[in-house]
Amino acid sequence: MNHLHNIPNYTGGKFIAPNSGQYLENFEPATGQIYSYIPDSDENDVNQAVLAAQKAFPMWSSMSNEDRSAWMIKIADKIEERLEEFAAAESKDNGKPITLAASMDIPRAISNFKFFAHALTQFSSESHYMQGVGVNYTLRQPLGVVGCISPWNLPLYLLTWKIAPALAAGNTVVCKPSEVTPYTAYLLSEICQEIGLPEGVLNFVHGLGPKVGEAMCVHSDIVAISFTGGTATGKRIASVAAPMFKKLSLELGGKNPNIIFSDCNYDEMISSTVRSSFSNQGQICLCGSRIFVERSIYKKFKTDFVEKVSKLHVGDPKDEKTKTGAVVSEAHMNKVLSYIELAKSEGGQILSGGHRVLLAGRCANGWFISPTVIEGLSFDCRTNQEEIFGPVVTITPFDTEEEVLMFANSTQYGLSATIWTENLSRAHRMAEKLHSGIVWINCWLVRDLRTPFGGVKASGVGREGGMEALHFFTEAKNVCIKY
């Protein structure tokens, strides 16, 4: 037994150790030190959680919408009461600046619960009237036990983005947070127990993807999987779950273009582009990692952008002045650094950053990378085609709309795209032709939770958000009545 905190699983309303008795190390990225242990769970733990969720389903699914909504508001309120504690935990677990966790991650987790708590009281289904014949109406019924699997980059934010609509729609849930960032999910399970959420409604099984995640995907009593993570993992999940005819929502990788025309609002563009490139150390699936700039302003953009990026303060995520924290793990740091080497070998010139940052004091062994800007690469080289998912962007000049559309649409991915122009017709024309699920015009990461969220091509299948999520987590049944 160790002296550090062992995070438990949460199943059937109880905190329990994994059946294996084994634990995995959990690191603080800013220090490179182990600070807690998480259950190395396996299929036995998943089976136990599914049984608890099945037992809870009849009660939860038949509860009135108002009562289910009230439970979700209670969860949101409790997170809000403990916002600072949650933000500190998210920052410690993930390496992100505490100010970002406090202003984005945790508030958004609260909003996710509130939004779907309200949405469920407004949820209605369709009816199709057949003149002189009869009427059809659609029943939208909960699915049963559903599985939610989330990644490490926005840990609580993305986990709750799945849990909240799943619960709102009347399902019971088995969830598996990322093994890299399990801590705020554990705090959420504490809240479930504290408020007395009926046991088995929401269950947390911690552990590795191939063991716990895969056991969920092949479990015959988990009828739907909502997954966010890498494209390779999504492919694996589809290959095991699709033959079982499970409902699948897959939110996968991205390599998003940020397209800048010379007629844009320059000041707004440049400050947003710094954010869209390096927020959360570039570890947001929506970050614009390929920046295409119209040739007439390319030189000016390059000078101004590099100047701003070089001023981003890389530091201890605990420090409120820090804009760039640690990347999430040593393995991820090495992956990102290897892409910087690849970029150099492909002929890229590093204009800013390009290396690991070694800090002093408590962060001496932390995993930090300086925000990196690269130019001189072709649109179709590996650096510009593969997802790096770190503080690395490339800048490339373009001459025409047609050319930049070709650059933008050239990858296997299609999650989001950003366009900067004051020309309204061009903005709409481009939005129509971009291969992506989300287009931001003259902004980035402006979110309305009612809108469909997701990607095309290798960025995923299905949409989250608003009614799309409530539709995913319910089964539509048509009832036809003849006069």
- Give backbone dihedrals phi and psi of 371, rounded to 5 degrees, phi first: -55, 130
User: What's the CA gap between 149 and 161, in Å, rounded?
Assistant: 11
Our finding on whether 149 is near ligand NAD (CB under 6 A) is yes
First to last CA, the chain: 70
The least distance separating ligand NAD from the CB of residue 324, rounded to whole angstroms, comes to 18
**Which of these segments, 43-51, 86-94, 149-157, 274-282, binds ligand NAD (CB under 6 A)?**
149-157
For the packed helices 155-168 and 106-122, what is the interaxial angle rounded to 10 degrees? 10
Residue 68 C-beta: closest distance to ligand NAD, Å: 25
Tokens 């002093």 appear where?
Answer: 360
- Out of 317, 455, 462, 465, point to the residue binding ligand NAD (CB under 6 A): 455
Q: Does 152 bind ligand NAD (CB under 6 A)?
A: yes
Structure tokens at 151: 């990644």
* Closest by CA position to 194, among listed 82, 90, 87: 82
Q: Which residues pair with 134 in a beta bridge?
A: 130, 482
In the sheet where 5-6 sits, what is the strand order?
A: 5-6, 33-39, 23-28
Q: How far is the CB of 386 from ligand NAD (least distance, A)?
A: 11
One character per residue 380-419, x = contact with ligand NAD (rule: CB under 6 A): -------x-x-------------------------x----
Residue 214 Cβ vs ligand NAD, minimum distance, rounded to whole Å: 4
Residue 105 is a binding residue for ligand NAD (CB under 6 A): no
Out of 11, 172, 203, 233, the residue judged to bind ligand NAD by CB under 6 A: 233
By the 10 Å C-beta count (0-12 exposed, 13-18 middle, 19+ buried), 480 is classed as exposed
The minimum distance between CB 95 and ligand NAD, in angstroms, equals 14
Among candidate residues 175, 192, 285, 363, the one labeled active-site is 285
Q: Which of 29, 151, 462, 466 binds ligand NAD (CB under 6 A)?
A: 151
Backbone angles phi, psi at 164, to 5 degrees: -60, -50
Does the active-site annotation cover 175? no
Residue 335 burial (CB < 10 Å; 0-12/13-18/19+)?
Answer: middle
Output the CA torsion 57→59→60→65 (10° steps): 140
**Which is closer to ligand NAD, CB of 159 or CB of 270?**
159
Listed ranges 20-28, 62-70, 124-132, 245-253: which one lies at the site for ligand NAD (CB under 6 A): 245-253
> Pick from 199, 251, 294, 375: which binds ligand NAD (CB under 6 A)?
251
Q: Is 252 in the site for ligand NAD (CB under 6 A)?
A: yes
Contact 41, 82 (CB under 8 A): no
Is 335 one of the binding residues for ligand NAD (CB under 6 A)?
no
Decide: residue 110, CB within 10 A, 0-12 exposed, 13-18 middle, 19+ buried.
Answer: buried
26 vs 233, beta carbon nearer ligand NAD: 233
* Residue 176 binds ligand NAD (CB under 6 A): yes
Footprint of ligand NAD on 187-226 (CB under 6 A): 209-210, 213-214, 217
Sole binder of ligand NAD in the list 230, 376, 397, 452 (CB under 6 A): 230
Partnered with residue 25 across adjacent β-strands are: 37
Amino acid at 237: I
Active site residue 285: yes
Helical (H) or strand (E) element with 68: helix 65-81
Q: Which of 90, 105, 179, 199 binds ligand NAD (CB under 6 A)?
A: 179
Instruction: Return residues touching ligand NAD (CB under 6 A).
Output: 149-153, 158, 176, 178-179, 209-210, 213-214, 217, 228-230, 233, 236-237, 251-254, 285, 387, 389, 415, 455, 459-460
The set of catalytic residues is 251, 285
